[in-house]
Amino acid sequence: MSYRALLSRTAFRRTLVSVALAAAYSSSWSLPVFTLTPAAVGLTGAPVTADNIILSDFSTVNFTSATNFTERGFLSITDFQLGGANVVAGGLNSTYSLYFDFTGSGHLTSANTNPTAGVTSGAFDTLNYSLVAASGNSTFSVAGNNPTVTNAGATQVLATGSLQNGVTVSVPQSGSFVPSAAATVSFSVAAGKNGFFSPQPFYDTAFTAFTNSLSTVTPFGTGFTINNGGGNLNFAQPIPEPETYALMLAGLGAIGFLARRRRS
């Protein structure tokens, strides 16, 4: 595959989607179904059954050296999907909200360090998160290069997790760049919150992927912010080759972003 093709927005998007479709709908890998029950943890909302979670990314990536970076942010859960179609989650982002509060760090693995000059790749070294539930509607923004969340009501931690492995890729486009990331993380239900999750025991591994459009990325002196970027998360057992699911998840991240674009 040539970099010239990747530089085209349409070609890049189609490449990711093709990879995702080939992998996600093969006979050897599928998205496991889960049910979330807000009332089980005191939230006002209807149970939702899905196999994919659509996320909005509000985060800051800061380079602490030429090849090392940190990331801090929030991933707001905006929608759920089942079999590729959006499903209604009654009360979501109205009577209750769900989001991931995360921090991470990593390093570049390519010789190129300028994302506007060529494809830049990297790997995560750390990634830690909490899945937070809040009463009412939580709102997110990026102000002064800092991601923020404003909660309307009380919050509680439903689950936590950390990095198993993950990758990043930045592709130059129109004088800027499109950052993507994919990671496998552990998923551990918090004490007393089991009723929120089904099946039980719940899945202990999650896959997440993001492909952020140019309009959501704002560079600054030592890094860049992502304001309302697009991605997704789902649960499954690990598949053997990290490179395979990294590409697959990058494609799924693109599908999640396009689903959000269609909805809006």
How much is the CA Rg of the chain, to the nearest whole Å? 18
Overall average pLDDT of the 215-234 stretch: 95
pLDDT at 51 over 50: yes
More confident residue, 203 or 247: 203
Contact call for residues 251 and 16 (beta carbons, < 8 A): yes
Predicted local distance difference test score (pLDDT) of residue 47: 98
Q: In this model, does residue 62 exceed pLDDT 90?
A: yes
Domain total of the chain: 1
- How confident is the model over 70-80, as pLDDT tens digits? 999 999 999 99
Q: Are 97 and 76 contacting, i.e. CB atoms less than 8 angstroms apart? A: yes
Tens digit of pLDDT for each residue in 246-263?
Answer: 555 555 445 444 445 555
pLDDT given for residue 12 in this prediction? 44
- Pairing mode of beta strands 48-50, 120-135: unpaired
Q: Give me the pLDDT at residue 79, please.
A: 97
pLDDT at residue number 247: 54
Q: Picking from 52-56, 86-90, 190-194, 243-247, which range would have the lowest pLDDT averaged per residue? A: 243-247
| Residue pair 235/203 in contact by the 8 Å Cβ criterion | yes
* Listed residue (257, 258, 239) closest to 248, CA to CA: 239
pTM attached to this predicted model: 0.84
User: Which residues have C-beta within 8 Å of that of residue 253, sequence separation ≥ 6?
Assistant: 16, 180, 181, 182, 208, 209, 210, 211, 230, 231, 232
CA nearest neighbour of 57 among 138, 122, 147: 147
pLDDT tens digits for range 37-50 = 999 999 999 999 99
Q: Tell me the average pLDDT of the chain.
A: 84
User: Is the CB of residue 257 less than 8 Å from the CB of residue 189?
Assistant: no
Express as a percent the part of the chain with pLDDT over 90.
72
Token duo for residue 231:
């991605």
Give the pLDDT of residue 29: 52
Q: Which of 4 and 95 is assigned the larger pLDDT? A: 95
Cis peptide before 179 (omega within 30 of 0): no
Q: Which whole number is the average pLDDT over 28-37?
A: 84
Give the C-alpha separation, 200 to 154, whole Å: 26
Task: Examine the pLDDT at 20 and tell me if it is beyond 80.
Answer: no
Count how many residues are written for the chain. Answer: 264
- Point out which residues pair with 206 in neighbouring strands: 185, 235
The shares of helix, strand and coil residues in the chain, as percent rounded to the nearest 5, are 20, 50, 30
Q: Which domain holds residue 210?
A: 3-263
